[in-house]
Chains A and B, each alone.
Chain A
Amino acid sequence: MKKKTGIKKIEPYLYITPITLILVLFVIGSVLISLTLAFTKYNIITPPVFRGIDNYTRILGDAKFLKALGNTLKLLVYIVPLQMVSGILMSVFLLATRKRLLGKIANCVIFIPFLCSNAVVGVVWRQLLNGKIPPVEWFFGLFGIEPSMLLGDSKTALITVAMVAIWKWMGYYSVIYLSGLMSIPTTCYEAARVDGAGKIRCFFSITLPMLKPTIILTLFLCVTTSLRNFELIFNLTGGGPNNATTDLVMYAYTLCFRTSASAGYAMAVSNVLFVVVLIIGLMQQRLLRRDASEL
């Protein structure tokens, strides 16, 4: 009898051990290594040498780092508002047309880009923009843009990366918003219509407020995903031209694996990004908790 309770006692721990091991080894372990080795000069071949806070002081005077940080923040600024607004408008539109055949098709295909790997998206878009393809040239010609210069010119490359990212995630956000929209009871709209509110009025005074939890959620999702465009950048531009599309992750990667391996410094750079992510994460926790308590 006693033995049985003994097993019972450890049984739950057995269930949670595998995932705990995995997460502690890979995630917690990585974070701790990153925090530790950032104080060293380490070229990943010879043993690390302790250097105190050298790497962090080096960051302050590193023009490439500042550029990468700037690019990271710029990507945030380009992507977040556009992605949010276009996502909401798109989902409202798709909801209104969901009964029609074309609407059904659009609803289905808009999700396709999100299924596709970043490597494929990067390669295909690069070819599409650089390939001198008549329909593409014609389309961009309408706006007086030469598509092959979009990724080539350091002034437009980052925006182009942002646009491709928005394109890729469009389906994702419209699905999330759609489920948010569907959960708004139709009685709300009916009541508003009885009061004589127009469609636009309805959108601002019913749809948007009712969507608020979804909007807060997606805002944070959008912020975190816009910090994670390494794969897209790697395949679209490789970080060029003139580092115009190098964000912090790309920079850390380059430092560690491309040029002769400054892994210590690379980890210091990653840690800065990590702090940014952490702050955003904590803000999210707080906001969501407040939101939950309101319910």
Chain B
Amino acid sequence: MKKKWLSALLVTAMVTGLAAGCGNNGEEEPSEEGGKTLEVWLAPLDDDTEKNWGDLLGDWEKEHDCTVDITVIPWDKYQETYSTAMSSGEGPDVGYMYNEMILPYIESGAIVDMTDYITEEDEAEYKYLQNGYMMDGQYGWPLVTGVPFVLYYNVDILNELGEQPPETWDDFVRICEKATQDTDGDGEIDQYGYAVGMNTTDIGPTQILNAYYYSVLWQNGSNIYNDDMKSVRFADEAGTEAMTWMKDLTQYMNPDFMSYSWSDAFSTIFGEGKAAFGVNRSAQTDETTYAESYPDLNWDYVTSLKNVDYGTFGATDSLTLMSDADDPDLAMEFIKYVTGAEFMEQYHAKCPGAALTNSEPYVGDPKMERIYTEDTDKWHGIQVGPCGDEILTQLAADLQGIMTGELTVEEGLAEAEEYSNQLLDEYWADKE
């Protein structure tokens, strides 16, 4: 009796196991007659991406006799949505990926190299194509680039302190120190040097790296990976110094920085005039939007401070052509269209961003233009490297640990370094 039971169990288990192991790559349902559907997944690019894009795509859809089905994936579920969908063949035709996450998908063949689709005109027209060139192929087609995180300052506070806009780390620390004070005399500090928010519950954990960490790391001349990608570099001397400097800044930050996301910190502390400095993702229309959101704020910005070098984070997020795409040519045409001047000019009029092509004019506010002219070398994206997501997630966690004082700078960096190098060792060992 018992044996029968056992064998019956084993058989069921094997059947389910097999079914699960093999996966099924979902036979695509035959598309409804006539019009095709192009499935496009985007990240939240503005406050209502689906509508803003949808409104502009009507003509293109008619012209190509297809429907574009746009899905916006929220940041806090971004990776899991992609990984579950791709593993079950439920992925889109056109995806949207950022450098940290793209590598595994390239390696598993989920993304197509777009090199063959690039014409000479494209090369002349699209300014940032090289940003999407990685692992010897054009795997990404840059869509969002050039809205770097920049350092905003409160002009009134700086004037009151008799300070000029900061250029170096020393300037920055000096002003922060002076600015952190009790302005109404009740014995409690109510004005801070630096408005910071490092809570990541609502957004991906690596966003605090984007907002605060990369700039410091790069300005001190270090980087995430060593050039050979076989080990990480962020814990070297320059990296440690950068982290220490950042940790020391906590005394000038709003003490509850762990309860705000970076954007909340900017809007509720810097925006309300309670801090000398704040970091935000720049937009070309900041002049207009800030005048509405923060009418009393007299602000300006420096793109990047300089210690050893300049540097701040400007994302390069790319559209990707998925290998599951039913009609790659159509998908490719879509990619080129939405990154091209005609679409982007209209889109940027609503939701500003940097021009992606040479024929798209600058439409933003004059105050922000210098990011794209004289300061254009001061910002860039991060390296594409193996295990990017794991490494950066760990680094972000350790950054939080360091900033809250749970770990010392050395402990935190050592933990992240050990973890990352171990992953990289395994990764390269697998390759051989």
Contact = CB atoms under 8 A, between A and B. Distances in A.
Direct contact of A and B (CB under 8 A): yes
Interface of A: 24-25, 28-29, 32-33, 36-37, 43-48, 63-64, 126, 129-130, 146, 148-149, 151-155, 236-238, 240-244, 257-261
B256 A148 contact: yes
Contact of B16 (A25, A153, A258): A25
A134 B341 CA distance: 49
Given A28-B9, A257-B83, A242 B398 contact: yes
B256 A240 contact: no
A236 B72 CA distance: 23
Given A146-B256, A149-B259, A241-B258, A257 B84 contact: yes
Q: How large is the interface on B (under 10, 10 to 19, 20 to 34, 35 or more residues)?
A: 35 or more
A241 B199 contact: yes
Contact of A242 (B259, B260, B406): B406
Q: Provide the main secondary structure of the chain A interface.
A: loop
A64 B394 CA distance: 9
Contact of A64 (B20, B76, B419): B419
7 tightest Cβ-Cβ pairs between the two chains A and B: A152-B258, A148-B259, A242-B401, A257-B80, A32-B13, A260-B104, A29-B16
Given A33-B13, A130-B259, A149-B256, A259 B205 contact: no
A52 to B, nearest CB: 15
Contact of A241 (B20, B200, B390): B200
A259 B259 contact: no
B259 A151 contact: yes
B406 A259 contact: no
Interface string B365-405: 00000000000000000000001011001100110110010
Contacts of A259: 79, 387, 389-390, 393
Interface of B: 9, 12-13, 16-17, 20-23, 76, 79-80, 83-84, 86-87, 101, 103-104, 108, 110, 198-202, 205, 255-260, 387, 389-390, 393-394, 397-398, 400-401, 404, 406-407, 415, 418-419
B108 A43 contact: yes
A154 B406 contact: yes
B94 to A, nearest CB: 19
Residue of A64, A146, A238 contacting most chain B CB atoms (<10 Å) = A238
Contacts of A258: 79-80, 83, 389, 393
